[in-house]
Amino acid sequence: MLGAIASIGLLAAEAAEEAAAGPENPILPDLAEMIFGTLAFLIVFGVLARYAFPALNRILAERAARIQGEMERAEAARTEADRVLAEYREQLAGAREEANRIIEEARRTAEQLRRDLQAKAEQEAQATVARAQEEIRAERDRVFDELRAQVADIAVELAGRVVGQALDRAAHERLIEEYIDQVAGSNGSR
């Protein structure tokens, strides 16, 4: 670097001698000024290249590494989000299947309950009808027995008036039973 500075100094001295010899150009600056400006530029550039540029390169490399790390973390987060989304969708599908299964099971249970209630109601209705028929039969038999007793009493009284004497109770009973059987037989044949 010292050699470059020495050669620039020699060039500056030569340019100064040439400038003194010829007319001055208004567009170009003075040669000595150009040499000192170039020299100052090279010194500043050397200092920057030695100290500032490595620091800037290190900062830029750190920033690039940080950005790369953030991109990798973002990619990992996106991959994780995709995995969680797929898991969520799978759970949602499972929940829908479970809900459909529960609804179907409830529908089957309700149908079975309806059939059970219907069968129970039919059994109760049949039992009620059977009880009613039994009560009707018992009432009919009771009324028939009452009627038989009343008919027997009326028949005994009428027979006693017709015959003019009182029949004994056994004879009356026998006559009444025959008459009732005859009346019942004629009603059953109709």
pLDDT tens by residue, 110-132: 999 999 999 999 999 999 999 99
Tell me what the mean pLDDT of segment 139-168 comes to.
73
| Whether pLDDT at 21 is above 90 | no
| Whether pLDDT at 2 is above 90 | no
CB atoms within 10 A of CB 112: 10
How far is the first Cα of the chain from the last one, in angstroms, to the nearest whole number?
151
Distance CA 137, CA 140 (A): 5
pLDDT tens by residue, 34-92: 889 999 999 999 999 999 999 999 999 999 999 999 999 999 999 999 999 999 999 99
Q: Where in the chain are the domains? A: 2-189
pTM of the model: 0.38
| Confidence category of residue 99, pLDDT binned at 50, 70, 90 | very high
Distance CA 99, CA 105 (A): 10
Residue with the bigger pLDDT between 108 and 3: it is 108
CB atoms within 10 A of CB 35: 19
Kindly tell me the burial class for residue 180, based on how many C-beta atoms sit within 10 Å of its own C-beta (0-12, 13-18, 19 or more). Answer: middle
